[in-house]
Each structure stands twice: as structure tokens, then as C-alpha cells.
């Protein structure tokens, strides 16, 4: 497993999710290093389908580790335009690279101003202490 | 570390996947010192155990081992146990930690009818399980004499410590279990790890035992279920007259309640967990992701008429219906290449 890290170019939701604003009204979501560490080895993802509308603060996917299952909460609202299909055969990418190969979905944001309600890296990591 | 039955339990060291893999391919060592021990001795020790334990205790040769269940009069299962015959009149029974005190009380309740002594010797033994294709080789290299064969027990000196070495385990792999003085357990552990066994925790122990379809008391066995329902009829010899034999015989002849414990595989992705309902009746009692098979597996009680291998059913996993299929035991079978070749 990778060492603890929290990139400073991401926005964070207190439920241990991250969002990367990609531009053109798109954003990519995933779970944080803290979340994957708490879960342990991820063995299964139940992702939403492309086209699903997801709402900030609500669960949009399930991540299962050997020991537990966890809902993944959407940091922002929108329509899913892509899911990381590689996680189907390689869910361990969430552990190995939670901010890169371990991304979960890309979303067309319905309210880009929701970003103002998210945490920056300092605020999020303060939450973990 | 998590607390369990008064013990601090090592759930994982390096990660359940790596530990599981080590036991399937080389060797792992588990600290299972939470397991309890009861020694039964005296001229009628055999008769007392024949009364208490479901299997035919008289069939255990000196130096042999046997699996059985401990039943109430109504056939409800109090515990499942391994018993080692250390001498003609001396037996050591291994209990589950959470049941140990109840088991000791149960043994003592029936002992006065026999010329036998029941001793709670849990404090006398630590227990290390060394399991995997290389487990015997690793322990053998530290032992003064050849190790006892599968399902037998003997005294050996391993890493300089006098102990009981048992050819048993809970992983579906070859290996041994070591019963030794607690004060020496740390250095024997270190010696075995140095010789190449990977420290393995209870999370891996659970995925390994589930792939092998070994029952876990509290999950797959309880006072509310009998051994026939649980698929443990093979460990019950009613003719010995053990406590609960009449109930077990009745269940065997008339059909034990309406459900049977079966192994299953999830066929469409996902993982069922303990407590998830089976659609149409029944419940998952153990469920996890199988590291060896890469899919969700488990044990579930299902209606008897749907317990045949190959039968499809659905499990309600938090409101989502997951398709599954009843399989044969064990869930994981190793072939000569070391790959799974499950049926």
C-alpha cells in the first residue's frame, strides 16, 4: 500500500472522498488515502451506471474490502459520464493509487458552485487529526 | 488488534491477501492462543467423553485426534471441538475461546457420574498453528524428531521447547498446531518466522477456513441448530449414547428441521456477509471475498429442498439481490499445479 498522501490540487468531502475539477463542467471522484486505509484491501466495487444522476452527500457506489463494505458518498452533484471499468478486474488500484488509477467516476456537474462547500487539503487533513 | 472473549486478537499483520496467499503457497503461522483446553483423565475418562462428545471417542487411538461436537440434550450445538488422546486414560480437548467456560461447566456437570477428572488447563497452553505446503518442513527443521502425521499428536522438542505437536489445522492446508507453555511461545514464534513462515492474522484464518468449508462456532454453528442441519452428521455416532444422541438420531431419520448449511459462490459479483437473508428462506452465516477464487463465497442455511449443489438462489445483500449457487465442499481445491480447480 502507498504511503499516506493528500494532494493539494484536490477538494475533499468529510466522508473521505475527493473531487478533482477537470474543467468543462466535469469532475473526477474517488476515495481518500484515509478511506482506503480504513477499509483495507479493496476486493469489489459496485459502481453506478453511466448516465446515473448522483447527489452531493449521498451514496453513489459501494466499495467492499475483505473485512467490510462501505458506501461512497458523492462530494458534488451531477450525471455520471464515465466509470473506471479497470476497477472491475483490478479493484486493488484503489489501495495502490487512490488519486490516480483508483479513480471511481467522472461526473458532469449540475452545480459547480458546490465546490465552495468542500474542504481544501489543510481543512481535510485537520479533520483526520 | 481487536478484543475477543477477553483476548487481544491479531487480525492482520501484512494484509489479509498476502497472508492468505502465503498459507496457500508456502507457510503461515497463526497465534491462536485464545483457544481453550480441557484435560480429562482417569479410569473412566473415555466413558465421560463418550457421553459428552458426539463422535465415537473409543475409536481414537493413543496419539490420535478426532473432531466432534458438544450437544445439549435437544441436540443444539454448544461447541465444536478437537480431542487428542494423550494416553489411554488422558485426553485433551480444544475449545473455542468464547465457549470455553461454558464447556468447562458442561464437562464438570456430567463428570460426577464417572471416575474421571476434568481440569481447565487453558492457562497451561499457548497455541501456534503453522499451516501451508512448507509448514511441516519449517517445523521439522526445528524439531528433535519426525513430526506426528496428519490427525495424530505427540510430544516433541521444537526450537528447544518441549511441546505437543498436532497434525491438525483449520486452513485446508497441511501443517501442524503446537501446544506449548505460554512463557516459551514468543521465542518459538520468532524461530518459526525466521525459518520462513509468514505471520498471519485472524482475518486470513477466516478466509482460509471458509474456502475449506470449516465451520466457525457463533457463525455457522449455534445452540439453535443441530449438527445434522449443519452438515456435521459425519461427526455424530448416535449409538454411543452421547448427550443429544436421540435428538440427532431423530433429525437424521426424519430430516433435521427445514434447512441445511451449504457452501455457496456469488455468481454475479459482490460479497454476501453474515446475516444477509437468503431469498425464499434461510440466512448467510459466513460470507467473505475468497482471495484464492477472487469471488464472494460463504456458508448459508437454505431450505433442505434447495440444498443440492448446482441450485441457484439469491441473497439479499443490503437490498440488492445477488445471484449465488450452491457448491460442493470444499469451495477451494488445490490441484497439482497449485491452482484452484473447484467444482
Alpha carbon A110 to its chain's center: 17
Task: Tell me: do B106 and B132 sit in the same domain.
Answer: no
Nearest Cα of chain B lies from the Cα of A118 at a distance, in angstroms, of 29
CB atoms within 10 A of CB B75: 26
Residue B337's pLDDT is 47
CATH of the domain at B270: 2.40.30.110
Domain assignment present for B233: no
Classify the C-alpha dihedral B8-B13-B15-B21 as positive or negative. negative
Q: Which of A1, A43, A46 is facing B289, going by the closest CB pair?
A: A43
**Cβ pairs bridging A and B (under 8 Å):** 35
Residue B340's pLDDT is 43
Domain assignment present for A1: no
User: In 3D, which of B135, B134, B177, B131 has the Cα closest to residue B156?
Assistant: B177
Domain assignment present for A104: yes
Judging contacts by C-beta atoms under 8 Å, the chain B residues touching residue A41 are 15-17
| Interface predicted TM-score (ipTM) of this complex, two decimals | 0.73
Domain that includes residue B314, residue range: 258-343
Domain assignment present for A117: no
Domain assignment present for A75: yes
pLDDT tens digits for range A3-35: 899 999 999 999 999 999 999 999 999 999 999
pLDDT tens digits for range A40-74: 889 999 999 999 999 999 999 999 988 788 899 99
Distance in angstroms (rounded) separating the CA atoms of residues B342 and B5: 35
Q: Of the candidates B189, B210, B231, which is a domain's last residue?
A: B210
Judging contacts by C-beta atoms under 8 Å, the chain B residues touching residue A65 are 289
Residue B338's pLDDT is 43
Count of the separate structural domains present in chain A: 1
Residue B6's pLDDT is 74
Residue B4's pLDDT is 72
CATH of the domain at B150: 3.30.1360.120
With a CB cutoff of 8 Å and minimum separation 6, the contacts of B305 are: none
Count of the separate structural domains present in chain B: 3
Helix (H) or strand (E) holding A126: helix A121-128
What are the backbone dihedrals phi and psi of residue B110, each rounded to the nearest 5 degrees, phi first? Answer: -95, -15
Q: Is B296 on the interface with A (CB under 8 A)?
A: yes
Give which of A2, A36, A41 to mutate to test B binding, by max B Cβ within 10 Å: A41
Nearest Cα of chain A lies from the Cα of B296 at a distance, in angstroms, of 9
Helix (H) or strand (E) holding B191: helix B182-194
Domain that includes residue A80, residue range: 11-111
Task: Tell me: do B64 and B131 sit in the same domain.
Answer: no
Q: Of the candidates B97, B123, B149, which is a domain's last residue?
A: B123
Domain assignment present for A123: no
Strands (E), A41-116: 42-46, 53-54, 59-65, 69-73, 78-83, 105-109
Domain assignment present for A124: no
Judging contacts by C-beta atoms under 8 Å, the chain A residues touching residue B12 are 40
CATH of the domain at A71: 2.40.50.100
Per-residue pLDDT of chain B (343 residues; tens, 9 = 90+): 677 777 777 888 888 999 999 999 999 999 999 999 999 999 999 999 999 999 999 999 999 999 999 999 999 999 999 999 999 999 999 999 999 999 999 999 999 999 999 999 999 999 999 999 999 999 999 999 999 999 999 999 999 999 999 999 999 999 999 999 999 999 999 999 999 999 999 999 999 999 999 999 999 999 999 999 999 999 999 999 999 999 999 999 887 568 999 999 999 888 999 999 999 999 999 999 999 999 999 999 999 999 999 999 999 998 999 999 999 999 998 764 444 434 3
Amino acid at each position: 500500500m502507498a504511503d499516506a498522501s493528500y494532494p493539494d490540487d484536490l477538494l475533499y468531502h468529510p466522508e473521505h472522498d475527493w473531487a478533482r475539477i477537470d474543467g468543462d463542467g466535469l469532475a473526477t471522484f474517488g476515495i481518500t488515502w484515509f478511506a482506503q486505509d480504513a477499509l483495507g484491501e479493496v476486493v469489489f466495487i459496485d459502481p453506478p451506471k453511466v448516465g446515473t444522476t448522483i447527489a452531493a452527500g449521498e451514496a453513489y457506489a459501494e466499495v467492499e474490502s475483505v473485512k467490510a463494505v462501505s458506501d461512497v458518498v458523492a462530494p458534488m452533484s451531477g450525471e455520471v459520464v464515465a466509470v473506471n471499468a479497470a476497477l472491475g478486474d483490478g479493484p486493488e488500484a484503489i489501495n495502490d493509487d487512490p488519486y490516480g488509477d483508483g479513480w471511481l467516476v467522472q461526473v458532469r456537474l449540475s452545480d459547480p458552485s458546490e465546490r465552495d462547500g468542500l474542504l481544501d487539503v489543510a481543512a481535510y487533513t485537520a479533520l483526520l487529526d | 488488534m481487536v478484543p475477543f472473549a477477553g483476548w487481544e486478537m491479531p487480525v492482520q499483520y501484512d494484509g489479509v491477501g498476502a497472508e492468505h496467499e502465503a498459507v496457500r503457497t508456502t507457510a503461515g503461522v497463526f497465534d491462536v492462543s485464545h483457544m481453550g483446553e480441557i484435560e480429562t483423565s482417569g479410569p473412566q475418562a473415555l466413558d465421560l467423553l463418550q457421553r459428552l462428545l458426539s463422535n465415537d471417542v473409543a475409536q481414537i487411538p493413543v496419539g490420535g485426534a478426532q473432531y466432534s461436537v458438544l450437544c445439549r440434550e435437544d441436540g443444539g450445538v454448544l461447541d465444536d471441538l478437537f480431542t487428542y488422546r494423550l494416553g489411554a486414560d488422558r485426553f485433551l480437548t480444544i475449545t473455542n475461546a468464547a465457549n470455553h467456560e461454558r464447556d468447562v461447566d458442561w464437562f464438570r456437570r456430567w463428570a460426577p457420574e464417572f471416575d474421571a477428572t476434568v481440569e481447565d488447563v487453558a492457562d497451561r497452553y499457548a497455541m501456534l498453528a503453522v499451516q501451508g505446503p512448507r509448514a511441516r518442513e519449517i517445523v521439522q527443521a526445528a524439531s528433535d524428531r519426525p513430526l506426528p502425521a496428519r490427525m495424530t499428536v505427540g510430544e516433541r522438542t521444537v526450537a528447544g521447547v518441549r511441546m505437543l505437536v498436532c497434525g491438525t489445522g483449520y486452513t485446508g492446508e497441511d501443517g501442524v498446531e503446537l501446544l506449548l507453555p505460554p512463557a516459551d511461545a514468543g521465542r518459538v514464534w520468532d524461530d518459526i518466522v525466521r525459518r520462513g513462515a509468514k505471520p498471519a492474522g485472524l482475518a486470513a484464518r477466516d478466509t482460509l477456513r471458509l474456502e475449506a468449508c470449516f465451520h466457525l462456532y457463533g457463525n455457522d454453528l449455534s445452540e439453535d441448530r443441530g449438527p445434522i442441519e449443519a452438515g456435521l452428521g459425519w461427526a455424530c455416532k448416535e449409538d454411543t449414547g452421547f448427550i443429544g444422541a436421540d435428538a440427532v438420531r431423530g433429525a437424521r431419520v426424519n430430516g433435521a428441521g427445514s434447512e441445511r448449511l451449504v457452501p455457496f459462490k456469488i455468481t454475479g459479483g459482490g460479497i454476501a456477509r453474515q446475516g444477509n437473508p437468503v431469498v425464499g428462506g434461510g440466512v448467510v452465516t459466513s460470507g467473505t471475498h475468497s482471495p484464492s477464487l477472487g469471488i464472494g463465497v460463504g456458508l448459508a442455511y437454505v431450505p433442505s429442498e434447495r440444498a443440492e449443489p448446482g441450485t441457484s438462489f439469491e441473497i439479499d445483500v443490503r437490498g440488492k439481490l445477488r445471484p449465488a449457487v450452491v457448491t460442493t465442499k470444499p469451495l477451494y481445491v488445490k490441484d497439482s499445479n497449485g491452482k484452484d480447480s473447484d467444482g
